[in-house]
């Protein structure tokens, strides 16, 4: 589901809700996510205070008072829900509370605080939890990932030199987390549109000026999306059940057959499978 902006939206609302709160208990209904939930997850989380919820790329990072870190990746379909305890709700193993935003199925993990629960739902189970014992492990975990678009390391020179002699198309690298982390399939198309770069173009043919545009538009697209509360194209919501609004700003994503939004451009948006993912672009103004 989520790319950097959506994860950031979840982080913000989650941080507000659970910062400095103590975990009473953890309930795991299904350990079989992308990676098996570690057996000691419950023990290591119990009675820990959440110092803060941070984020790197598409990973949520829970800082625990015992010096450990809980990582949560939402995969394609992971969502986080807050369910407040109120009045006469019955807590059972299958359907516990009548929360309008809580799905009926696939609530795999619950982190229980005093008076409310954080529920992790994930139909496709591509998301995962991981416990890291110390800062070194955390560093190591992210060592292979590329910089986020907001970091100064993600600059024109970095991109240009990375692209030297690369035969693969440029779109492929925008969604390659080892090159730049946080951009996914939707925002890659949007960034290339604003940069007037055809997603099919080989990386080695991307010039300095193009790199400059990629830097600028990556920041722009992601920060605009964060500002709008992320994109809701299927059912993304923040933890309070509120949908994002950036999908209204899409220039190309899911606009196949529609007129190109660029001023005076006569093109029509094309959908094409590039590096195994749907890619949307205008072949008139993206060269």
- Give me the residues that bind DNA (CB under 7 A), please: 1-3, 6, 32, 34, 57-58, 73, 75-77, 105-106, 123-126, 166-168, 172, 175, 177, 184-186, 231-236, 247, 271, 275-278
Residue 2 is a catalytic residue: yes
Catalytic residue among 17, 55, 58, 68: 58
Smallest distance from DNA to CB 115, Å: 29
Based on CB atoms, which residue is closest to DNA, 123 or 267? 123
Residue 3 is a catalytic residue: yes
Kindly provide the b/e burial profile for residues 112-149, where b requires at least 16 CB atoms within 10 angstroms of the residue's own CB: bbeebbbbbbbbebebbbbbbeeeeebeebeeebbbbb
- Residue 189 tokens read as 């198309």
Based on CB atoms, which residue is closest to DNA, 25 or 36? 36
How many helices and strands (H and E) does the chain possess? 7, 10
Based on CB atoms, which residue is closest to DNA, 23 or 269? 269
Smallest distance from DNA to CB 45, Å: 22
Residue 125 is a catalytic residue: no
Residue 24 is a catalytic residue: no
Could you give the CA distance from residue 137 to residue 130 in angstroms, rounded to a whole number?
A: 11
Smallest distance from DNA to CB 202, Å: 8
Based on CB atoms, which residue is closest to DNA, 2 or 199? 2
Based on CB atoms, which residue is closest to DNA, 34 or 201? 34
Smallest distance from DNA to CB 57, Å: 6
Would you call 28 exposed, middle or buried from its count of C-beta atoms within 10 A (0-12, 13-18, 19+)? middle
- Vertex 156, ends 152 and 158: CA angle to 5°? 75
CB under 8 A, 24+ apart: contacts of 189-193: 189/252, 189/253, 189/279, 189/280, 189/281, 190/221, 190/250, 190/251, 190/252, 190/253, 191/217, 191/218, 191/221, 192/281, 192/286, 193/251, 193/252, 193/262, 193/280, 193/281, 193/282, 193/286
Based on CB atoms, which residue is closest to DNA, 32 or 93? 32
Q: What are the residue ranges of helices labelled H in 19-146?
A: 41-45, 135-142
Could you give the CA distance from residue 158 to residue 203 in angstroms, rounded to a whole number?
A: 13
- 117: CB partners within 8 A, 6+ apart: 82, 83, 85, 110, 111
Task: State the catalytic residues.
Answer: 2-3, 58, 277
């Amino acid at each position: 589901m989520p790319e950097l902006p959506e994860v950031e939206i979840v982080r913000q609302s989650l941080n507000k809700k659970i910062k400095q709160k103590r975990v009473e208990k953890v309930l795991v209904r299904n350990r079989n996510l992308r990676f098996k939930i570690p057996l000691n997850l419950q023990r290591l989380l119990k009675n820990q205070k959440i110092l803060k919820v941070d984020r790197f790329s598409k990973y949520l990072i829970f800082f625990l008072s015992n010096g450990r870190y809980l990582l949560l990746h939402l995969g394609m379909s992971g969502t986080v829900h807050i369910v407040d305890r109120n009045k006469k709700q019955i807590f059972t193993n299958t359907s516990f509370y009548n929360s309008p935003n809580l799905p009926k199925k696939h609530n795999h993990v619950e982190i229980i605080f005093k008076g409310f629960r954080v529920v992790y739902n994930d139909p496709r189970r591509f998301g995962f939890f991981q416990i890291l014992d110390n800062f070194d492990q955390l560093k190591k975990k992210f060592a292979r990932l590329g910089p986020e678009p907001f970091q100064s390391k993600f600059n024109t020179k970095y991109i240009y030199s990375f692209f030297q002699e690369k035969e693969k198309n440029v779109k492929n690298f925008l969604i390659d987390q080892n090159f730049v982390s946080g951009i996914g399939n939707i925002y890659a198309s949007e960034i290339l549109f604003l940069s007037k770069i055809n997603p099919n173009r080989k990386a080695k043919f991307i010039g300095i000026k193009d790199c400059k545009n990629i830097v600028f538009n990556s920041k722009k697209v992601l920060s605009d999306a964060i500002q709008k509360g992320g994109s809701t194209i299927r059912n993304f919501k923040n933890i309070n059940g509120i949908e994002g609004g950036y999908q209204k700003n899409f220039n190309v994503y899911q606009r196949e057959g529609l007129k190109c939004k660029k001023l005076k451009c006569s093109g029509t948006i094309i959908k094409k499978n590039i590096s195994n993912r749907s890619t949307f672009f205008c072949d008139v103004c993206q060269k």
